[in-house]
Amino acid sequence: MAKQRLSLEVPDILNKCIIRVVDTSIYDPIFPVECPKLEITPPGFWQPSVFTDLDPGFTLNATACDLGIQSTNCATTMNDLVDGIYIIRWSVSPNDIVFVEYNHLRITTILTKYQKLLCCLDIANCDPPVEVQKRIQELGFIRTLIDAAKAKVEFCHNPKQGMAIYNYACTRLERLACLCNCNC
């Protein structure tokens, strides 16, 4: 049997309309790669979207239309993909034996809000006032919460706890945005 070592990379990107999946697998050149299948199940869905026309080493930029979430205006409008846990499975023949599966916590929306809040803070001064320093510390804590949520989902395999931390980070980020009069 082939010694395919499958792996994927799902980078955090700030484009709200796509999810990027990159094949980082190592394939045994002696054996052909047959029946490739990438399955992506978005948050709140039970059935995955299936992609079978991918070549080894692929980079896929999947939209809401590709994932079956958006069914109208696909040629003209790209809807945002929500943050949350996407189940991503990559397999080759025999697909029930040679596969890899990930829980990916998409954090694009919260990172975009985080970046916008950084833009709202007046931190050009190298020694900002105490109130601004407190907001910077709070932003640092929020970023740690985002990273912790991602770690809980992707590395600790505890999606429920990861989403609880993510939601808490969202609440704190919204509260801080209101305090800073930044898109509250």
What's the confidence (pLDDT) of residue 183?
66
What's the confidence (pLDDT) of residue 120?
84
What's the confidence (pLDDT) of residue 145?
98
Residue 35 CA to residue 39 CA, distance in Å, equals: 13
What's the confidence (pLDDT) of residue 100?
96
Dihedral sign for Cα 164, 161, 154, 150, please.
Answer: positive
What's the confidence (pLDDT) of residue 125?
67
Whole-prediction pTM value? 0.92
What number of other Cβ atoms are within 10 A of residue 91's Cβ? 19
What's the confidence (pLDDT) of residue 169?
98
Mean pLDDT by 10 residues, the chain (184 residues): 84 96 94 94 96 96 96 93 98 91 97 91 76 90 98 97 98 90 68
Domain ranges of the chain: 8-106, 108-179
What's the confidence (pLDDT) of residue 129?
81
Residue 43 CA to residue 124 CA, distance in Å, equals: 39
What's the confidence (pLDDT) of residue 184?
59
